[in-house]
Amino acid sequence: MAIQHKWIENFAHAFQASGVSAGQWVVVAAESESNPDLIALSELALQRIGARVTLVRVPSPAVDSVPIRSTGASTAFDPYPELMTALGDCSLLVDCSVEGLLHSRARQKFLAAGGRLLMISNEHPEILERCLPDVALRARVDYSLKRLEAASTMQVRSRAGTDLTVNIDGAPCRGGAGFLTGDEKVAYWPAGLCLCFPLANTVNGTVVLDVGDVNLTFKRYFESQVTLTIENDQVIEIAGEGLDARMLRSYYDAWNDPLATAISHVGWGLNPSATWEALNLYDKSQCNGTELRAVEGSFMISTGANEFAERFTNCHFDIPMRNCSVMIDDDPVLVDGRLQGRYN
């Protein structure tokens, strides 16, 4: 598509919010199947700031027998540990890989070498424009993280029938506003999600995925109810007669991996600029769904890899849900999908 001047300005804003200034060495990391528009916008914006820009591109990896989407764990840079270590000296690594380096093994090498990483989700630039990094959002995220880190129990209920209990005592918590500050090492754009990674054997109950909730791996809204029964982190039953339940069951079955149906993370969205209906408005190739993970008032449950529970798998589902009520200890965070008190 034609590069728009406003998008260059948007990217420059995002990089400067993460501390990029003239003279710094900034690396754009890409693979052969990366979105060329995101690469070009990154390079042009960094040059506008006056940074010293290097583009590093590697071949995209061979595909698995099962299609993979929306994992945040690109394997493109895994064969290059020496490269990731060397790149640790740059001021910022701008991640334009297809799936992202957020949960990748390559990212671990890079961070161990002292690097800082900003992942740009594989989205249409218009989505990134609407969800620009925002200082005001940072205050919301920081408050939610503080409360989440201090809590011991999360309870999630909905009128559709969800009744989930999560022991979050000691669970690692993550969140962000789309930019890096201070000593932070990893951020992603779009952002605005506060979440935690429950430790082993801490998630139990029932989750009812209602009409209008989102399967971001398939990039589609649920059109029929699906009920997940969860025992000790594991989805032991996927009930429902509609197409949504059937496709979910068959995709999980194709992996033949019990870790694929284990809980990865849970959390809620805080970004008022994110739009629930956005998935309808872009082709699947133009939208990775990161925006919907952060919609204000949404609750998200995910299955797949959870390194803190020592579970690793390439199968990953992020499922944002509407109209949920969330309590941490005795503190209401969401009531029927609306943020409460200081969370708002």
What is the SS3 assignment for 25?
strand
Q: Which of 131, 181, 171 has its CA nearest to residue 149?
A: 171
Query: What is the architecture of the domain spanning 5-120?
Result: 3-Layer(aba) Sandwich (3.40)
Predicted local confidence at residue 67, as pLDDT: 82
Chain-centroid distance, C-alpha 27 = 22
Structure-token match 């009930």, residue found: 239
Predicted local confidence at residue 103, as pLDDT: 78
One pLDDT digit (tens) per residue for the chain, 344 residues: 789 999 999 999 999 999 999 999 999 999 999 999 999 999 999 999 999 999 999 999 988 778 887 777 788 999 999 999 999 999 999 999 999 998 788 888 999 999 999 999 999 999 999 999 999 999 999 999 999 999 999 999 999 999 999 999 999 999 999 999 888 999 999 999 999 999 999 999 999 999 999 999 999 999 999 999 999 999 999 999 999 999 999 999 999 999 999 999 999 999 999 999 999 999 998 999 999 999 999 999 999 988 888 888 888 999 999 999 999 999 999 999 999 999 99
Structure-token match 């890096």, residue found: 180
| Amino acid (1-letter code) at residue 196 | C
Predicted local confidence at residue 182, as pLDDT: 82
Q: What are the backbone dihedrals phi and psi of residue 95, each rounded to the nearest 5 degrees, phi first?
A: -90, 110
Domain range summary for the chain, segments of one domain joined by +: 5-120, 135-175+192-343
Predicted local confidence at residue 68, as pLDDT: 80
**pTM exceeds 0.85 for this model:** yes
Q: Could you tell me if 287 and 334 are in contact, meaning their C-beta atoms sit under 8 angstroms apart?
A: no
Q: Could you tell me if 291 and 320 are in contact, meaning their C-beta atoms sit under 8 angstroms apart?
A: no
What CA dihedral angle connects 298, 72, 187 and 284, to 10 degrees? -60
Structure-token match 């995709």, residue found: 251
144-151: list long-range contacts, CB under 8 Å, 24+ apart: 144/175, 144/194, 144/268, 144/270, 144/333, 144/343, 145/173, 145/174, 145/175, 145/194, 147/328, 147/331, 147/333, 147/343, 148/173, 148/194, 148/196, 148/267, 148/328, 149/173, 151/328, 151/329, 151/331
Q: Which of 215, 266, 265, 260 has its CA nearest to residue 242?
A: 215
Sign of CA dihedral 136, 138, 141, 145: negative
Prior bond of 125 cis (ω within 30°): no
What CA dihedral angle connects 157, 190, 25 and 54, to 10 degrees? 120
pLDDT by residue (tens digit) across 98-147? 999 987 888 889 999 999 999 999 999 999 999 999 999 999 999 999 99
Q: Could you tell me if 327 and 226 are in contact, meaning their C-beta atoms sit under 8 angstroms apart?
A: no
Task: Give the E-state strand segments of the chain in sequence order.
Answer: 25-31, 52-58, 92-95, 117-120, 153-158, 163-167, 173-175, 186-189, 193-196, 203-209, 214-215, 220-221, 226-231, 234-239, 263-269, 299-303, 317-321, 324-328, 331-335, 338-339
Sheet containing 193-196, strands listed edge to edge, beginning at the edge strand earlier in sequence? 173-175, 193-196, 263-269, 299-303, 317-321
Q: Could you tell me if 92 and 19 are in contact, meaning their C-beta atoms sit under 8 angstroms apart?
A: yes
**Separation between Cα atoms, residue 47 and residue 43, nearest integer Å:** 6
